[in-house]
Amino acid sequence: MVHLYLGDFLWENNNRYSVASLFLVTNQLVIHDQADYFNELIVVSLITLTGFSAFALVLEQFAFNFMLLRLWQFSAGFMALFWNKIEVQNLPKDKDEYKNVEYPVSKSDVFTVALSILGFCIFPNNIDVLWLRPAVTMATAFIIAAESSDSQILSSKLLAYIGGISYVLYLVHWPIIAIFQPYTVQNYVFVIVTTFLSSILLHQIFEEKYLKLDRKMLISFVIALFLGNCILQYSVRNQSFWDQVYPADIQATIEANKAQMPNSWSKEKNRFECSEERVDDPKVQELNFGYGGYGFYEETIWSHTALKFQKQEVELHRPDVLFILAKYPETLKGPVQENDGYVQQMNENLKFYEKFVKRIYILGAHPLYQVGLFDSLVQKVMSRPEALEGLHLNRKKADKEMKFVRKRLSMIECQKCKIFELGEVFIDGDKYLTHDPEGLVSYADNMCHISAAGLKLCDLVLKTIAQDVMNTV
């Protein structure tokens, strides 16, 4: 279904996502009651802890969209389940003795605190998702573990039914959102209703039925589904039935955008080999660490390692010119503190670089594009051209987001440094352009890097920098 409605540039993502659907059936095989709840609790606890650790350390956008790094949220629910099973097994058989059992913290207190955390999340907040996501997950697990029978909300048959179809909801919601792409109130209502109706239908005619199968039938069913999926994937890749046909102008726009992928630097002919036309030309080393782009500050163990490596490289190669191209994270967008730690880091690291280079160029606070911009643009070109205008960035909001980054950059103390801006070439009235309004070619890829088309707009700025290098180095 997804292959019929979405462009082929989105198929790879949906093929990975579809792996999750296997768990709809294999859950019945893998997760079965062995009554060894203590060992099962240990296993799912380790999955939760190690899974979240991996989730927190990997790049946020990749981790969120990679199913295996999200399993810790499922295993947290099983922690609550197995904890309840252990508790039931250990309950005194004598009812009078049970009444005398006392806990340091009552279940009702745990339930109230956990429910308060979930209620708090309804309101707008600026809490880092790295803290908020595990807090919500564990709060939900505590509510499951508490099994409060006093709560009229949680004893609701409607909520119990939604819980029963929750995994089907999880599997169904993304294909529906991807196909219909809600951007108005009416679209959102349609998507929500369609998601629930589809989930109910699949739950009634499919999920309830396979849950009643015995182990032998279930294994045969899984094998049949796997083979069917292999045949379908082969068909998608090799048969013309799945080919999508668009009007000539839309097809030309799609091809123009796809020609820029996966990123601008992959189009450079000499990317993997060194070349030098004149011996006396300055050596240029570029610092660009991809997502999060560090170069003269650190905030995580990964940025610390990257910064250490880059300082070693600069000291070893001693380039004449050093470019620092950074995407500034949320931490640098916060208010500047007295004796600001990030400003101190920047000055210390730039002072180190100044010992080995003649000139340092630092990219200023460039507006941050949305992740997946390329996919959104091409999909809207094909299905909703009237929504393309909404992809451009609101200039006022984008500048406000980078307000404190610019202030920190203005506090840099570096004699050999020069900050250059590329954002100005994308300004069109009250917005920053994210694509060519006429040719509809994206100015950024899916990971917020400027595309080849975007770099063409920057030619004048880059030529000015090149001339400055030749005149001063």
DSSP class of residue 450 equals B
Q: Are 285 and 313 in contact (CB under 8 A)?
A: yes
Determine if residue 292 is left, alpha or beta; phi over 0 gives left, psi from -120 to 50 gives alpha, anything else beta: left
**Looking at residue 75, what is its pLDDT?**
86
Other beta carbons less than 10 A from residue 189's beta carbon? 11
Q: What is the pLDDT of residues 416-468, one digit of tens each?
A: 999 999 999 999 999 999 999 988 999 998 888 899 899 999 999 999 999 99
Helix (H, G, I), strand (E, B) or coil at 431: strand
Q: What is the pLDDT of residues 235-268, one digit of tens each?
A: 887 888 777 778 888 888 888 888 877 665 555 5
Tokens 């999880």 sit on residue? 170
d(CA 127, CA 77): 23
CA-wise closest residue to 31 among 18, 40, 39, 22: 40
**What are the C-alpha distances in Å from 347 to residues 10, 316, 341, 350, 414?**
43, 21, 10, 5, 7
d(CA 354, CA 416): 7
d(CA 105, CA 114): 13
Which phi and psi (to 5°) does residue 471 adopt?
Answer: -85, -25
Q: Which segments of the chain belong to CATH 3.40.50?
A: 253-472
DSSP class of residue 442 equals B
d(CA 20, CA 68): 9
Alpha carbon distance, N-terminus to C-terminus of the chain: 59
Judging by beta carbons within 10 Å of its beta carbon (0-12, 13-18, 19+), is residue 365 exposed, middle or buried?
A: buried
d(CA 436, CA 446): 16
CA 413, 417, 421: angle at the middle one, nearest 5?
A: 110
- What's the predicted TM-score (pTM) here? 0.66
Q: Where are the beta strands (DSSP E) in 259-301?
A: 284-287
Q: Are 450 and 443 in contact (CB under 8 A)?
A: yes
d(CA 4, CA 8): 9
Q: Whole-number mean pLDDT of the chain?
A: 79
CA 237 to chain centre: 27
d(CA 67, CA 209): 26
Q: Are 393 and 423 in contact (CB under 8 A)?
A: no
Beta-bridge mates of residue 432: 393, 427
Token pair listed for 445: 């890829």
Q: What is the pLDDT of residues 321-350, one digit of tens each?
A: 899 987 777 778 889 999 999 999 999 999
CA-wise closest residue to 395 among 384, 404, 407, 403: 403
AA identity, residue 276: E
**Looking at residue 263, what is its pLDDT?**
64
d(CA 80, CA 87): 11
Q: What is the pLDDT of residues 145-193, one digit of tens each?
A: 776 556 676 677 888 888 889 889 988 888 888 777 766 788 888 999 9
CATH number for the 253-472 domain, one of 1.10.10, 3.40.630, 3.30.70, 3.40.50?
Answer: 3.40.50
CA-wise closest residue to 170 among 29, 48, 70, 32: 70
Q: What is the pLDDT of residues 284-302, one digit of tens each?
A: 554 433 233 467 888 777 7
- Which of 378 and 96 is assigned the larger pLDDT? 378
AA identity, residue 62: F
Q: Are 263 and 445 in contact (CB under 8 A)?
A: yes
